[in-house]
Structure 1
Amino acid sequence: MEFRALCEEFRANNQIPPEKFDLYQVKRGLRNPDGTGVMAGLTLICNVHGYLIDDAERIPDKGILTYRGINVEDIVEGCRRENRFGFEEVAWLLLFGKQPTRSQLEGFSKLLNSCRELPEYFAEDMIIKAPSRNIMNKLGRSVLALYSYDDNPDDPSLENNMRQAIQLIARLPTIMTYAYQVKRRHFDRQSMFFHPLDPNHSTAEAILNAIRPDRVFTDEEAKLLDLCMILHAEHGGGNNSTFTTRVLSSTGTDIYSAISAAIGSLKGPRHGGANHRVMMMMDDLMGHVKNWESDDEVGSYLEKIVRKEAGDRSGLIYGMGHAVYTLSDPRAVILKENARKMAEEHGMLRKFELFERVEKLSPDVFAKVKNDRKVISANVDFYSGLVYEMLGIPSDLYTPMFAVSRIAGWCAHRIEEMETCGRIMRPAYRSLTHEKQYIPIDERE
């Protein structure tokens, strides 16, 4: 029996007419008719603001992202002004709900450093002996495998969850860099190298130290990577991977199962995988558009992409638009400013300006091709891949870098769900089946 025939059998018996969703008022994607998210819970961790509501109408507004009530722009500016790394502080803020004192931050950073080493034989048994072409896949499998290396994996107490959360925040970057080195050796036939960890490194420095053959990087580069991690660390309970964390946590399952599932969610091209798709889309565009400075030529190719005649035939301009943000995504605004500066320094200004041109033209392209005049702007994925490229981060790690940053938010939501909700998530699905008679097997057609 061929798989194609099985697929035809499935299609013949599993069609749901689109109008049925409207008939039964099904909120597909847990979205209200106006595009807003269905209210599924309460949180103290993060707020994502992208529009105003006036007489039940969505009014576009400047995007604002706050961690525990503090504007992420202020966090970024504070770290820049004081010339220090900020991801560790953000992890503390998300977990505990208050900015750390200097001594608390120093102690927390030392604790993270002490937890970066993987359990004995873990790297050999779980990563080196089982290489993966996809680093996200290896992250998910490795996190799930950590359950077997934990002497107390199922204890749901706050104390145990906090221990596990901090260990995971510290270990995920190490797993990522090990998985990347093994992938290079096994699939790319290149040298792999495992540098010793430096106890004085921030998380961003530890990552650059692990992926660069000569271990050489500048303070400016490390702080730019740290900035990316700050901006990716959290984005509210409704984003797909964080909601996945909360759904699994609501069952009372262990933290490794919940975080592994979140990684699987983030891997999807409609979620964290979009930053890699942006770069693939832009590489394709650069290969087909001769004059990057021409609005007409670039716009014409974008129209082909939306018509599913070019690119990956998805009809999507990756990195454009967001479920909440309208006029702007504050993360994209910050990354764009830093990307321009770095592009000027690295002789990549022409490429950066092409990204700007795509950002500028995309709304009009959607309006022309789809008659869709919804206000859209570039999201964080649009510029993050470009920043990673200029930092020398390999494309294999674009989405994994998202994961090693977002785990801070996942763990905060995991603990909040366990401590404040206490009820398993159980949404409803309406059945469209009708009663049928059982047919003996020899009488079936």
Structure 2
Amino acid sequence: MTQLKDKLSEKIQAHRPRTARLTKEFADIVIDKVDIGQCMGGARDIKCLVTDISSLDPQEGIRFRGKTIPETFAALPKAAGSAYPTVESFWYFLLTGEVPTQAQVDEVVAQWKTRQSVPPYVFDVIRTLPRDSHPMAMLSIGILALQRDSKFAAYYNSGKFNKTNAWEQVYEDASDLVARIPVIAAFIYNLKYRDDKQIAIDPKLDMGANFAHMIGQSEEYKDVARMYFILHSDHESGNVSAHTTHLVHSALSDPYYAYSAGLSGLAGPLHGLANQEVLSWTMKFQEKYCKGVEPTKELITKALWDTLNSGQVIPGYGHAVLRKTDPRYMSQREFCLKTPGLKDDPLFKLVSMIFEVAPGVLSEHGHTKNPWPNVDAQSGVIQWYYGVKHWDFYTVLFGVGRALGCMANITWDRALGYALERPKSVTTDMLEKWAAEGGIK
């Protein structure tokens, strides 16, 4: 086994007694209550999922394995000549909770090189789709096409399936998937937006740099890719893409089935598709209100009030959990501010001014629980600046990053033997009866 798989095995053996004890000795301990509003409102805030990969605090934001975003970026070994870590080092960190050495990172990079070769039939399947198909549909179908080679499915069907060791084959599939998904994403980008001018993998490059290379991007974009994929990797388990992946895999569907389903959830406008909607709105806003004029606080304040008074919302502001500015937004903003050219880009200046003004306007308006920007309010601006101007592709970028968290989570799901997810439903008649009685007696 590799150093990463050995370390992961060690971590799993140490963790299993903890979950076994919780299930055996403390299953009846009440940790939360469910009210009718939560039952009818999408199970919001019901504590019924377990993950150690990331946690999300309403005031603090995301922590990956206990570390904030700045702490994560500071701790992990950096890519050569870069201020950002490689995606491979982050993958080691997500799986084990330990900061890898450079030697351990190098091993993961080498492993991903052996795993990143995509079977030609996957590209053939994608090519059969109408060229105007949404790139997220292409990505989901491409991942599903890989299912033929699932090591977990083969192990389950071998007649030798052992649930204690099943995590090892999930790990193999998960590692294959995270190594291959940027190659498939780059193929889709080139197929749709570069007249099918495909660029071969550069065996010398790490994953983020290789993605930039494969879509014909600049040297600077290598850090954009590294940053973007890490920031979008995970956001606890309750979001649609992570939860869907977990749910489908809980039926022992292999990682390809599970993540293809997760990508379908990510494609929704209330989840990952929001990033393209935010950029579209911002550009229309710019055209309507700025028209070449430098955005000022007075101009943007009036324009935002006009927007709200017309019954529209301000996309990219608000979050289901967060009650402060999304740290992922701030990381991308910091990247813009320290990048010559980008910090003076008119679109970034507009987004920056909206950031200064919108929270106050939304707070005064009073119709939002969280007046602060989320990750989607910033991400499209960076892509647009570097020439990735096909915003229906932005969710594909999100999907490449989110694979890291989803695959790390289901590897641990199998390692700890988490159960088939099967919540109990109730009828409206039941709810009305309990409401009239003041609750269940």
TM-score range (shorter-chain normalised) is 0.7 to 0.9
Cα separation, 2, equivalents of 1:392 and 1:367: 35
Cα separation, 2, equivalents of 1:346 and 1:244: 36
Q: Secondary structure at the match of 1:110?
A: helix
1:129 corresponds in structure 2 to 128
The Cα of 1:198 is off from its aligned counterpart by 1.0
Cα separation, 1, equivalents of 2:357 and 2:173: 46
2:300 corresponds in structure 1 to 298
Cα separation, 2, equivalents of 1:48 and 1:82: 31
Cα separation, 1, equivalents of 2:332 and 2:323: 17
1:439 corresponds in structure 2 to none
The Cα of 1:289 is off from its aligned counterpart by 0.2
Q: Secondary structure at the match of 1:427?
A: coil
Cα separation, 1, equivalents of 2:309 and 2:243: 32
Cα separation, 2, equivalents of 1:177 and 1:101: 29
Q: Relative to 1, partners in 2 of residues 1:26 and 1:41: Cα closer, same or farther, differing over 3 Å?
A: closer
1:49 corresponds in structure 2 to 57
* Counterpart contact for 1:336–1:383, Cα < 8 Å: yes
1:279 corresponds in structure 2 to 279
Q: Which consecutive residues of structure 2, in runs of 5 or more, have no partner in the other structure? A: 1-33, 157-165, 431-441
1:429 corresponds in structure 2 to 425
Cα separation, 2, equivalents of 1:323 and 1:247: 20
1:205 corresponds in structure 2 to 209
The Cα of 1:179 is off from its aligned counterpart by 1.4
Q: Secondary structure at the match of 2:336?
A: helix
1:119 corresponds in structure 2 to 119
* Counterpart contact for 1:88–1:203, Cα < 8 Å: yes
Task: Show the 5 A alignment for 1:102-113.
Answer: 102-113=102-113
The Cα of 1:433 is off from its aligned counterpart by 6.2
Give the letter for the 2:106 counterpart. Answer: E
2:411 is equivalent to residue 398 of structure 1: no
Cα separation, 1, equivalents of 2:271 and 2:368: 23
The Cα of 1:22 is off from its aligned counterpart by 7.9
Once superposed, what is the RMSD of the aligned Cα atoms? 2.5
The Cα of 1:151 is off from its aligned counterpart by 6.3
Task: Show the 5 A alignment for 1:313-324.
Answer: 315-324=312-321
* Counterpart contact for 1:47–1:235, Cα < 8 Å: yes
1:387 corresponds in structure 2 to 382
2:186 corresponds in structure 1 to 177
Q: Secondary structure at the match of 1:324?
A: coil
**Which of residues 408, 413, 420 is equivalent to 2:404?**
408
Q: 1:138-185: CA deviations, max 9, x gaps?
A: 11111111112446635351121111001100111111111122223x
Q: Relative to 1, partners in 2 of residues 1:283 and 1:201: Cα closer, same or farther, differing over 3 Å?
A: same
Q: Relative to 1, partners in 2 of residues 1:80 and 1:165: Cα closer, same or farther, differing over 3 Å?
A: closer
2:26 corresponds in structure 1 to none
Q: Relative to 1, partners in 2 of residues 1:324 and 1:199: Cα closer, same or farther, differing over 3 Å?
A: same
The Cα of 1:71 is off from its aligned counterpart by 2.6
**Which of residues 75, 78, 81 is equivalent to 2:72?**
75
Give the letter for the 2:202 counterpart. Answer: D
Cα separation, 1, equivalents of 2:375 and 2:112: 27
The Cα of 1:83 is off from its aligned counterpart by 4.4
Q: 1:308-340: CA deviations, max 9, x gaps?
A: 55xxxxx33221122222222211111101112
Q: Secondary structure at the match of 2:153?
A: coil
Q: Which consecutive residues of structure 1, in runs of 5 or more, have no partner in the other structure? A: 1-20, 32-36, 52-62, 185-189, 310-314, 435-445
* Counterpart contact for 2:332–2:378, Cα < 8 Å: yes
Cα separation, 2, equivalents of 1:249 and 1:175: 22
TM-score by length of 2: 0.79
Cα separation, 1, equivalents of 2:35 and 2:101: 52
Q: Secondary structure at the match of 1:199?
A: coil
The Cα of 1:300 is off from its aligned counterpart by 3.2
TM-score by length of 1: 0.79
More deviation in 42-51 or 292-301? 292-301
Cα separation, 2, equivalents of 1:242 and 1:252: 16
Cα separation, 2, equivalents of 1:127 and 1:115: 20
Task: Show the 5 A alignment for 1:358-373.
Answer: 358-369=354-365, 371-372=366-367
* Counterpart contact for 2:322–2:370, Cα < 8 Å: no
Q: Secondary structure at the match of 1:138?
A: helix
Give the letter for the 1:267 counterpart. Answer: A
Give the letter for the 1:129 counterpart. Answer: T
Q: Secondary structure at the match of 1:397?
A: helix
The Cα of 1:417 is off from its aligned counterpart by 2.0
Q: Relative to 1, partners in 2 of residues 1:381 and 1:268: Cα closer, same or farther, differing over 3 Å?
A: same
Q: Relative to 1, partners in 2 of residues 1:432 and 1:153: Cα closer, same or farther, differing over 3 Å?
A: same
* Counterpart contact for 2:336–2:342, Cα < 8 Å: no
Percent sequence identity is 24
Cα separation, 1, equivalents of 2:278 and 2:205: 31
Cα separation, 2, equivalents of 1:23 and 1:47: 26
Q: Secondary structure at the match of 2:56?
A: strand
Q: Secondary structure at the match of 2:179?
A: helix
Q: 1:42-67: CA deviations, max 9, x gaps?
A: 2221122223xxxxxxxxxxx24322
Q: Secondary structure at the match of 1:121?
A: helix
* Counterpart contact for 1:275–1:381, Cα < 8 Å: yes
Give the letter for the 1:162 counterpart. Answer: Y
2:144 is equivalent to residue 147 of structure 1: no
The Cα of 1:432 is off from its aligned counterpart by 2.8
Q: Relative to 1, partners in 2 of residues 1:25 and 1:240: Cα closer, same or farther, differing over 3 Å?
A: closer
The Cα of 1:272 is off from its aligned counterpart by 1.3
* Counterpart contact for 1:180–1:396, Cα < 8 Å: no
**Which of residues 168, 189, 196 is equivalent to 1:192?**
196
